[in-house]
Amino acid sequence: MRAFLACEFVSSERPVSKTTLVGLFDAINFESIPAAFKPFSLWVKLIGGSGGHAIELIARGTAGERVDLGAKLDIDLNASPQPGAEITINVAPMVFQKPGTVAFVLLCDGTPIGWECEIKIVLVTEKDKKK
């Protein structure tokens, strides 16, 4: 895994293999919780490897619970001249029940690979706004 990033939007231009990530973030601030967050994207760059694989994205919520995102796809790491893949996963709006960290985990054939993409859920107080 070369990168695993959260952003507002991913634009891919083919056949020139140009990818633009818009609005990268690693924290979401809310004035009250529970709160809903708009749809966003997760972008993954895999390098190396070979053959076909089943990819799944899961999340671990702020309370440590597993959240099934329904994100499953099959990839072929031999499909381009350089082994690897770029994966964009569109995440539906999420409701956060409490502050903490949400961790997104990429599974390849059922096994976690690379590292987790973490997003901090922050409750902003009036005192924080005055800073």
* Three state DSSP letters for the chain: CCEEEEECEEEEECCCCEEEEECCCCEEEECCCCEEECCEEEEEEEECCCCEEEEEEEEECCCCCEEEEEEEEEEECCCCCCCEEEEEEEECCEEECCCEEEEEEEEECCEECCCCEEEEEEECCHHHHCC
Structure tokens at 76: 């072929």
For the entire predicted model, the pTM comes to 0.86
Structure tokens at 47: 């390098």
CA proximity to 22, closest of 36, 6, 37? 6
Please report the pLDDT score of residue 127 as a whole number.
63
Please report the pLDDT score of residue 131 as a whole number.
60
Exposed/middle/buried for 102, CB within 10 Å: 0-12, 13-18, 19+?
buried
Please report the pLDDT score of residue 110 as a whole number.
93
The residue-averaged pLDDT of 119-130 equals: 81
**Span 3-129 CATH architecture:** Sandwich (2.60)
CA proximity to 115, closest of 44, 53, 50? 44
pLDDT at 68 over 90: no
Q: Identify whether the C-beta of residue 122 lies closer than 8 Å to the C-beta of residue 29.
A: yes
